[in-house]
Amino acid sequence: MKQIILTFALSICLMSCNSQEKKNTMKENPLLANIKKYDYEPIYQLQVETLYNYDIWANDVLVLTKHNNVMNVFGTFDNSFILKSGSQKLKVKIYPPIPFGEGQVTPNEYLKNGIKFKLKVEQTAWENGSLEEPKLIMNYELPQYQRDVNNEEDYSKPIDYSKLKEFTTELDFIAKVPYSLYSWEDSEDLTKTDTLDLKKKVLAFYNEFRSSIEDGNSDFYLNSIKKAEFNYFQSNYFTIESAKSKSNKWIDFVAKGKTFEPIDSGKLEFYGNGKIVSIRGVKTWDKNEGILRYRYKKGAFNYVLVFDIFLHRPKGAKDFEIIRYSMIDKNFLKGEAK
C-alpha cells in the first residue's frame, strides 16, 4: 500500500512538473533579436524641478507624474514615447503642492504664488560607455510675470496663480531618431467603444496579466509585453545581449510566481489620441499611477513594485496588446506600503 501511495504521489509531482514546463516554454523574447545598433544614438531626456505636483504627456502618452510633497529633480531616459523623428508634443498639467509635515498627504486646493516649475529637454548619447555632454533642446519655466496691458514693454506685473486649481501648457521640441518602433498610430480608436464595456475588458486583461504572474506563467507575461519591451530596449539602444539579459531576469522573476495586491478599479484614461488606454490610480498616494502593484519587504524597508500598463488594440485584432509598460519600484521607508 505504501508503495502505491508513493507511486501515486510521484505521478502527481511529475504531472505538475510537466505542466509547469509546458507553461513556461519561452526562454526569451524573440523580438529582441531584431534590435539594431546605429552610429549615433540620440537620447532625449526630460527633467523637472518643482514642489508642485504634475502630470506630463509626450505625444499624448503619460511619461512623468508626481503627486507627493518632495522637492525633486526628476527625469526620464526612456525614449520609447518618440516613435519617429520630427516634432514631439508635450502637455504639462501643474497641480497644487502637498504641504510638508509628517502624515501630510492632502494637496492644497489652489496653486501658490512664488513656486517655481522648471522643465528642460536635453539631447545626449552614449559614447564609449558614458553619456556625452547634454545639449539643451528646450527650456521652460512657469512664468512669474506678465505684460502690463497698459504698457507693452512692462513685464513686471506678477501673475496670480492663487485662484487656479491647475495650470496647463503645451510645448514641443524636435527629435531625430534612427530606429523604428511598434506603433499605436494606426490602432483602433478606443474612444468609439462603450466606456463601461471597455473598462470591464481592460480590467479583465489586467486581472489575467496579474494571475499569470501569480501562477508563474512566464509565457503569458512574455507574449503580453514583448512588443512594448522591444520598443523600450530599441529606443534606448540596448545591445541584443544586454536586452536579453535584462528581459530574462524578469522572465525568471515571473516564473517563480508572486502574490500581487488586489486590483482597485481606478479611472479609465485614454492616451495616444484615443489609441491607448490605461486604468489609473485615483487616491492621493497612487494618483495617476498604474493599479497593478506587488508589495514586498527588503530588510527594514517596505517597497511597492508598480506595473504601469498601457494597452492598445491593433486594427482587426480581437485582443489588447501592451504597447507601453514600466515597473516603478517605490520605497516607503519604514512606513506601511499602501
User: Which of 158, 175, 192 is a domain's end point?
Assistant: 175
- 296 belongs to a structural domain: yes
Q: What are phi and psi of 148, to 5 degrees?
A: -75, 125
CA distance to 35, 222, 227, 329, per residue, from 30 (Å): 10, 10, 10, 26
Specify whether 187 is located in the same domain as 284: yes
The CATH number of the domain holding residue 275 is: 3.10.450
Specify whether 237 is located in the same domain as 296: yes
- 22 belongs to a structural domain: no
Q: List the 167-175 sheet strands across, edge first.
A: 61-66, 53-58, 86-95, 167-175
Specify whether 167 is located in the same domain as 245: no
Each of the 338 residues of the chain gets a pLDDT tens digit; together they read 544 444 444 444 444 454 445 677 888 999 999 999 999 999 999 999 998 999 999 999 999 888 877 766 667 768 999 999 999 999 999 999 888 755 556 778 999 999 999 999 999 998 777 789 999 999 999 999 887 767 666 677 889 999 999 999 999 999 999 999 999 999 999 999 999 999 999 999 999 999 999 999 999 999 999 999 999 999 999 999 999 999 999 999 999 999 998 887 799 999 999 999 999 998 877 888 899 999 888 887 888 889 999 999 999 998 999 999 888 887 765 444 44
Query: Cα separation of 145 and 158, whole Å?
Result: 4
Tally the domains of the chain.
2
Specify whether 187 is located in the same domain as 146: no
- 220 belongs to a structural domain: yes
Specify whether 169 is located in the same domain as 61: yes
- 198 belongs to a structural domain: yes
pTM, to two decimals: 0.83
Specify whether 307 is located in the same domain as 203: yes
Q: Which three cell numbers stand for residue 5?
A: 501511495
User: Rounded to the nearest 10 degrees, how much is the dihedral formed by the CA atoms of 288, 83, 78, 212?
Assistant: 60
Query: Cα separation of 338 and 336, whole Å?
Result: 6
Query: Cα separation of 293 and 303, whole Å?
Result: 10
Q: At what angle do helices 218-235 and 240-255 cross, to 10 degrees?
A: 150
- 74 belongs to a structural domain: yes
Specify whether 156 is located in the same domain as 242: no
Q: At what angle do helices 218-235 and 195-214 cross, to 10 degrees?
A: 100
Half-sphere exposure of 315 (CA within 13 A, CB side): 6
Specify whether 199 is located in the same domain as 160: no
State which residues form the domain around 72: 42-175
Question: 95 in helix, strand or coil?
Answer: strand
Q: Which three cell numbers stand for residue 131?
A: 553619456
Specify whether 138 is located in the same domain as 267: no
Specify whether 162 is located in the same domain as 126: yes
What element of type H or E holds 207? helix 195-214
- 286 belongs to a structural domain: yes
Specify whether 189 is located in the same domain as 323: yes
The residue with cell 485582443 is 319
Q: Determine the distance from the C-alpha atom of residue 330 to the mean position of all C-alpha atoms in its chain, rounded to a whole number.
A: 13
Specify whether 273 is located in the same domain as 229: yes
Comparing C-alpha atoms, which of 292, 289, 325 is closest to residue 309? 325
Q: How open is the CA angle 19-22-26, to the nearest 5 degrees?
A: 145
Contacts of 310 (CB under 8 A, 6+ apart): 61, 62, 228, 271, 276, 277, 278, 322, 323, 324, 325
User: Which of 107, 140, 175 is a domain's end point?
Assistant: 175
User: Which of 122, 142, 175 is a domain's end point?
Assistant: 175
Annotate 285-315 with DSSP letters as a single string. GGTTSBSEEEEEEETTEEEEEEEEEEEE--T
Query: Cα separation of 178 and 44, whole Å?
Result: 13
- 195 belongs to a structural domain: yes
